[in-house]
């Protein structure tokens, strides 16, 4: 739709509500919205300061324009000083040599919070202007040590813009500083952090310290005794040790001016581009001079971070360069020297030894090509010719560090009309089985009139608004405005009642181990502490667990994983509680080596035996695999886990009163919380009420893993008879709650040879074993594995298939539900196997996918049919290929790869089908309570919880439709067990299906009671009818209930399937695990940097069948969010545990990647450059409310399109850099495809020469090298 895509106003061609002319322009009944290019808009927009709105603003009051004054605060032995002059600061530093200087508190704050360090005296430099001054002179750039990083960056940018930076302009030191700081941390951090802090803390992975060292910068150090200078390169004495006397302060940094033909290259590689700590960072500087008709190296400085305990300069390599011509042969020699000089030994802290070594050489090669190309730009008749760089080599010079940050654009499409009929035309319960009442007739007539008006407006070229139609309209999220303004209230925002206390968990620091003794005397004597509780203090039972009670509220005799809860400290403030928890002394007796990984568990035969399940379909798999003339492959595939990383960590407020307990928590499972709290507190369930207004994300992580924290704080509140709040910090939440299960897949698969199929690749048999890492306790690991087994076919028909799985017991925290609940793990395994078979057959994986999709009415491997009218993946597959023109995209990528040796593009298109239901039959039920008030408004309470997914908004739309009301007349109350009892967790993407139907059931009951009144008052508004019904003593409240048809849910794993007439197992006899399938197809195009492993997602197109969407905007938002989270799972989000591959992580079993510093979800810069999402049109779903479909989890797997596009790009790199036989050999790429895995899989000469393992012996087969990961 050229008209839609060309529109650049706010929300694009239609805004969030769509527009008539965009649909008309496409010649189809669909709404098209576009995401405008915000970067382009900003570039051409009038600066706000010059707008009329800015001039109309109230002036900032002069009374508030106050200069910072000297300040001294003292409390509890701590002191905070804020001098207002350098002289006063130096006097204080002389008096208190151990005092720490603070500018942005970005280092001291972390030390205090996460390392439990106490800093008795802090000196704030905020009012010392001398430390913030930046200037330029003949001596070079003078940068105030306490100037914020953004101030330094802006200063350098201004010099470049004025042409004053140096003769080399943006290629010199000023440009390097600007470029590196653009990617340093976040804007908020750069607004307060400073260069002086970077230098004084001596971080070995600092981006700026190598830059300053390489450019020859000097530090001006001052004290009350005087001033001295030291070169940055000599400043770092050891790990976190610098040449700075206790009474000295860094005053400023002097960066020498850049000379002609001096080139400075800042470069880094991290787990993601934006707001991340570098894996390796470097600044490489060379000064060239024309000599004897060639360019010769006069000076060189190669400074690296991330290669050693300190910032290091490759002195030997620099010396090897000086005096040599700037040629590729010179570089080759220097690279060999560098590799030996900076090789990271195996097992070094931080891991990734081979990758870090390869990056050092890759960066040096990038310097060679970059400088050669810059010499081309400045070449003249008077200068020597630059080194020749072929067209294919030139892409080596590209680096995201020096390129503009891109903006994302996209198009969303969805059907214009919602006219499909779902389950609502069938009786839900006896009470609601009624004929359409006049009110309903009136609603239908109103809808018809609105539709007619909409069509008339459309015919005139006008627009329509979604307010005219409740269903199918992109109405705003009910809490959207509150989310945007920050006014949405979460558990930690609730004002505490008088006398409220705070809690902190006492957690295990080693495991597995026996608890020998616990000494809490120091903790109890600590300031503000009310109590510290342990297992012996419980009044109720100690056992917990959602399926099997194999956990404890407080560990009593032994601990099975690091982070397990042993007790809880309660104090007047959260900080006092934290201090007390850390003062508890625990003596452990180790119970042997920790079994941490899946491979260790297999070796130790450590399993949860009750989880062992199997599905067999078709002919016996052994016979099928042994058939003649088959192409057979065998291998394994690993995928790591994933952290939920919800924005709101687990929080609970326990409020005891009169022997009862109210628990307000961030949970997806209020009934589970209610029952478990009652269990541990020794209370009956009817005296415990569990509530939740909203969560700041859940993703499955708060289905069961929120309960242990709620139980602990409820025990404390019950014991003290006082309100107590517990809010987990990010590191505690990540270290104790578990996440997505890592899987190890072992398989043997076969396909028919092309000669037997006329060239069409056809699958023959699959024997697959699935091992998941369940952690120390069972939690939901069994059902997660079951769903993985049920999705291991993805969308393909295997004539013979056997899927077997078991959960491994390890010393990790119990892993749990996560968006997709095992389905993505099963599907990505299938796709990896398809890729392996494609390699063996010599065809594309796309060809296998295309030729082996289920046909309508075929049975899945578990025996469920895919009816013709419901199986839509083949249609979506064809539609998306046409929209994207996959063949052209493939050709474009191939053409790009032929002309670019060091950057490669890849494409992939992958389908998905995701079964909707709880696999446990009893869970497929839900209730709702609806009140109709006499003013015609409606209040709904249902059993589902709102975690940002828009459930409450959709349920409100269902109720508004039922009563014929505008959405503003319907309100959804908080979820509470005293309103709707015996609820199911909000999970499995089932909530709209369950609670939408339950709400409709309740609405229909009320409408049935109103029918006699409506007959007497046919034209009266609902408020008048409700008022009359009230005086007629008619009940205006109803409890609704809905359960999925018993024939469409439940799968009996214990039942032995009877044989079919052909002797194959009849798995349909076990039941139908799913009510229906949400389906879709995704396409992705990526580009990777072969030399670093960096990647960018150039384009993504998604086409998803969500039935007739109740709210298309919410569904599209869910699709985009699920895709992004899925993309993160297979790219940037890597969990590192203290296992056999990472012995530098201690103690064994500890999660190393705790918190945002080490664990990286996708950032804004990881968003696809072009992101298009479409909802399928002409689709219905007769099994749910208003023909909608579940959307929360199914699109998650489509993020794997990025993974397989990356693999495609790597294959192009291997084809160029490996011998033909090695390049043609299948290579497994394990998930996630981190920058390390991407870079090392390319197996070029720089990567291959860096591959060393145990004993630092060189790896024999570089093509088969696999980086070490946690699984």
**Residue 105, CA atoms < 13 Å, CB-side half-sphere:** 9
H or E stretch covering 544:
strand 543-544
DSSP code at position 253: E
User: Where do we find the tokens 């090669």?
Assistant: 365
DSSP code at position 1104: E
| Six token digits for residue 668 | 């997806």
**Residue 956, CA atoms < 13 Å, CB-side half-sphere:** 24
Cα separations in angstroms, 585 against 520, 522, 542 = 6, 8, 22
**Residues 715, 463: Cα–Cα separation, whole Å:** 58
424 is catalytic: no
H or E stretch covering 956:
helix 951-963
**Residues 688, 681: Cα–Cα separation, whole Å:** 10
Single out the residue of 738, 736, 734, 765 nearest to residue 752, CA to CA: 765
Q: Which residues contact 1011 (CB under 8 A, 6 or more apart)?
A: 434, 437, 438
Q: Which residues contact 641 (CB under 8 A, 6 or more apart)?
A: 739, 740, 741, 742, 773, 815, 1135, 1270
Please report how the helices 173-182 and 149-162 are oriented relative to each other, as an axis angle in degrees rounded to 10: 140
Catalytic pick among 274, 870, 1193, 1236 = 1193
DSSP code at position 623: H
Region for 821 from its dihedrals, namely left if φ exceeds 0, alpha if ψ lies in -120 to 50, beta otherwise: left
Q: Do 192 and 105 meet the contact criterion of CB atoms below 8 Å apart?
A: yes
Q: Do 127 and 84 meet the contact criterion of CB atoms below 8 Å apart?
A: yes
Q: How many residues does the chain have?
A: 1271
H or E stretch covering 254:
strand 249-255
DSSP code at position 944: -
Q: Do 317 and 337 meet the contact criterion of CB atoms below 8 Å apart?
A: yes
Q: Do 916 and 993 meet the contact criterion of CB atoms below 8 Å apart?
A: yes
* Helix-strand-coil split of the chain, %, nearest 5: 35, 25, 40
DSSP β-bridge partners for residue 121: 79
Radius of gyration of the chain (CA): 32
Q: Which residues contact 744 (CB under 8 A, 6 or more apart)?
A: 598, 599, 602, 636, 637, 638, 770, 771, 1271
Q: Do 1040 and 1015 meet the contact criterion of CB atoms below 8 Å apart?
A: no
User: Where do we find the tokens 């599905």?
Assistant: 615
| Six token digits for residue 295 | 């360019």
Q: Do 320 and 305 meet the contact criterion of CB atoms below 8 Å apart?
A: no
User: 1172 by DSSP, 3-state: which?
Assistant: strand
Q: What angle do CA 1148, 1149, 1154 make, to 5 degrees?
A: 115
Cα separations in angstroms, 1267 against 602, 642, 1214 = 20, 18, 16
Q: Do 269 and 1225 meet the contact criterion of CB atoms below 8 Å apart?
A: no
User: Where do we find the tokens 């004084």?
Assistant: 200
Prior bond of 1232 cis (ω within 30°): yes
User: 856 by DSSP, 3-state: which?
Assistant: coil
Give how far the C-alpha of residue 1231 lies from the chain's centroid of Cα atoms, to the nearest Å.
14
User: Where do we find the tokens 């006008």?
Assistant: 462
**Could you give the residue numbers annotated as active site?**
1193
């Amino acid at each position: 739709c050229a008209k839609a895509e060309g529109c650049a106003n706010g929300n694009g061609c239609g805004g969030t509500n769509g527009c008539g002319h965009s649909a008309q322009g496409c010649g189809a009944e669909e709404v098209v919205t576009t995401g405008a290019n915000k970067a382009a808009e900003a570039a051409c927009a009038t600066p706000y300061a010059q707008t009329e709105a800015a001039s109309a603003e109230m002036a900032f009051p002069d009374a508030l324009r106050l200069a910072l004054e000297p300040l001294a605060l003292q409390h509890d032995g701590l002191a905070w000083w804020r001098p207002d002059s350098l002289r006063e600061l130096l006097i204080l530093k002389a008096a208190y040599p151990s005092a720490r200087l603070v500018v942005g508190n970005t280092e001291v704050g972390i030390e205090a919070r996460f390392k439990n360090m106490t800093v008795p005296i802090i000196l704030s430099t905020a009012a010392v202007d001398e430390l913030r001054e930046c200037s330029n002179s003949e001596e070079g750039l003078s940068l105030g040590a306490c100037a914020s990083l953004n101030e330094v960056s802006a200063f350098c940018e201004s010099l470049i813009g004025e042409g004053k930076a140096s003769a080399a302009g943006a290629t010199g030191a000023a440009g390097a500083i600007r470029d590196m700081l653009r990617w340093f941390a976040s804007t908020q951090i750069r607004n307060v952090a400073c260069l002086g802090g970077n230098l004084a803390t001596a971080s070995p992975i600092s981006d700026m310290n190598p830059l300053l060292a390489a450019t020859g910068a000097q530090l001006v150090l001052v004290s009350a005794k005087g001033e001295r200078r030291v070169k940055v390169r000599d400043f770092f004495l050891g790990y976190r040790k610098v040449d700075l006397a206790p009474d000295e302060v860094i005053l400023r940094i002097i960066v020498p001016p850049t000379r002609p033909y001096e080139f400075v290259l800042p470069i880094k590689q991290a787990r993601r581009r934006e707001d991340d700590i570098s894996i390796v960072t470097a600044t490489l500087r060379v000064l060239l001079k024309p000599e004897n008709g060639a360019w010769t190296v006069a000076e060189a400085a190669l400074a690296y971070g991330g290669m050693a305990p300190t910032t290091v300069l490759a002195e030997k390599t620099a010396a090897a360069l000086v005096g040599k011509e700037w040629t590729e042969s010179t570089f080759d020699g220097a690279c060999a020297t560098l590799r030996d000089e900076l090789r990271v030994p195996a097992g070094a802290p931080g891991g990734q030894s081979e990758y870090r070594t390869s990056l050092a050489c890759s960066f040096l090669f990038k310097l060679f090509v970059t400088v050669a190309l810059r010499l081309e730009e400045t070449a003249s008749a008077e200068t020597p010719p630059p080194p020749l760089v072929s067209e294919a080599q030139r892409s080596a010079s590209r680096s995201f560090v020096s390129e503009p940050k891109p903006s994302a654009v996209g198009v969303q499409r969805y059907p214009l009309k919602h006219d499909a009929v779902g389950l609502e035309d069938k009786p839900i319960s006896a009470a609601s089985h009624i004929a359409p009442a006049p009110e309903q007739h009136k609603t239908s007539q109103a809808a018809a009139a609105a539709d007619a008006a909409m069509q008339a407006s459309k015919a005139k070229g006008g627009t329509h608004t979604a307010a005219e139609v409740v269903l199918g309209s992109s109405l705003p999220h009910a809490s959207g405005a509150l989310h945007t303004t920050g006014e949405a209230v979460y558990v930690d925002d609730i004002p505490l009642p008088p006398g409220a206390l705070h809690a902190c968990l006492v957690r295990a620091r080693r495991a597995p181990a026996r608890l020998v003794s616990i000494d809490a005397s120091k903790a109890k004597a600590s300031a503000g502490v009310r109590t510290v509780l342990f297992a012996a203090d419980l009044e109720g039972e100690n056992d917990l667990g959602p399926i099997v009670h194999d956990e404890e509220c407080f560990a009593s005799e032994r601990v099975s994983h690091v982070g397990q809860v042993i007790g809880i400290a309660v104090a007047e403030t959260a900080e006092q509680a934290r201090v007390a928890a850390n003062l508890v002394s625990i003596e452990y007796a180790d119970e042997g080596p920790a079994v941490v990984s899946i491979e260790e568990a297999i070796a130790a035969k450590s399993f949860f035996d009750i989880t062992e399940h199997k599905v067999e379909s078709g002919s016996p798999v052994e016979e099928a695999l042994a058939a003649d003339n088959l192409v057979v492959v065998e291998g394994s595939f690993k995928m790591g886990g994933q952290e939920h990383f919800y924005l709101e960590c687990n929080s609970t407020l326990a409020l005891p009163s009169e022997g009862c307990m109210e628990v307000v928590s961030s949970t997806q499972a209020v009934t589970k919380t209610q029952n478990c709290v009652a269990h541990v507190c020794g209370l009956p369930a009817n005296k415990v009420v569990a509530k939740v207004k909203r969560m700041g994300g859940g993703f499955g992580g708060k289905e069961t893993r929120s309960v242990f924290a709620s139980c602990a704080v409820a025990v404390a509140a019950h014991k003290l008879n006082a309100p107590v709040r517990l809010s987990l910090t990010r590191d505690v939440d990540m270290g104790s709650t578990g996440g997505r299960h890592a899987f190890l897949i072992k398989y043997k698969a076969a396909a028919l040879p092309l000669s037997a199929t006329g060239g069409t690749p056809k699958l023959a048999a699959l024997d697959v074993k699935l091992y998941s890492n369940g952690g120390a306790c069972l939690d939901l690991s069994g059902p997660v594995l079951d769903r993985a087994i049920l999705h291991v076919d993805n969308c393909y028909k295997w004539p013979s298939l056997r899927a077997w799985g078991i959960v491994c017991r390890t010393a990790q925290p119990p892993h749990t539900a996560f968006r997709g609940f095992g389905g993505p793990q099963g599907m990505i395994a299938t796709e990896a196997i398809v890729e392996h078979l494609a390699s063996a057959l010599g065809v594309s994986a796309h060809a296998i996918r295309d030729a082996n999709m289920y046909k309508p009415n075929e049975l899945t491997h578990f025996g469920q049919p895919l009816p013709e009218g419901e199986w839509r993946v083949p249609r979506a597959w064809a539609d998306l290929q046409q929209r994207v023109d996959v063949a052209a995209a493939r050709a474009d990528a191939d053409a790009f790869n032929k002309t670019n040796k060091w950057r490669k593009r890849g494409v992939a298109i992958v389908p998905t089908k995701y079964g909707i239901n709880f696999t446990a039959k009893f869970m497929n039920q839900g209730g709702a309570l609806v009140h109709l008030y006499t003013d015609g408004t409606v209040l709904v309470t249902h059993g589902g919880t709102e975690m940002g997914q828009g459930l409450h908004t959709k349920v409100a739309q269902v109720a508004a439709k039922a009563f014929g009301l505008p959405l503003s007349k319907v309100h959804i109350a908080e979820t509470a067990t005293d309103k709707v009892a015996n609820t199911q967790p909000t999970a499995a993407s089932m909530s709209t299906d369950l609670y939408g139907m339950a709400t409709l059931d309740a609405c229909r009951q009320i409408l049935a009671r109103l029918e006699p009144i409506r007959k007497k008052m046919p034209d009266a508004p609902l408020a008048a009818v409700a008022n009359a019904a009230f005086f007629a003593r008619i009940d205006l409240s109803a409890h609704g209930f809905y359960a999925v048809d018993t024939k469409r849910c439940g799968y009996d794993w214990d039942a032995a399937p009877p044989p079919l007439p052909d002797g194959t197992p009849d798995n349909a006899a076990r039941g139908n695990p799913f009510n229906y399938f949400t389906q879709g197809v995704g396409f992705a195009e990526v580009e990777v940097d072969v030399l670093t492993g960096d990647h960018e997602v150039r384009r993504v197109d998604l086409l998803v069948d969500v039935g007739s969407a109740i709210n298309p905007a919410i569904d599209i938002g869910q699709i985009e969010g699920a895709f992004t989270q899925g993309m993160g799972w297979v790219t940037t989000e890597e969990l590192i545990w203290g296992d056999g591959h990472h012995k530098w992580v201690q103690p064994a079993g500890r999660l190393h990647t705790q918190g945002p510093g080490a664990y990286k979800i996708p950032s804004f810069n990881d968003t696809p450059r072009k992101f298009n999402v479409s909802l399928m049109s002409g689709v219905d779903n007769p099994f749910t409310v208003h023909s909608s479909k579940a959307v929360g989890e199914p699109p998650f797997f489509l993020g794997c399109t990025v993974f397989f596009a990356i693999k495609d790009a790597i294959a192009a790199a291997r084809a160029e850099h490996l011998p033909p036989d090695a390049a043609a050999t299948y290579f497994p790429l394990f998930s996630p495809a981190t920058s390390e895995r991407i870079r090392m899989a390319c197996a070029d000469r720089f990567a291959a020469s860096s591959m060393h393992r145990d004993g630092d012996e060189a790896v024999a087969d570089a093509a088969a090298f696999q980086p070490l990961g946690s699984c």
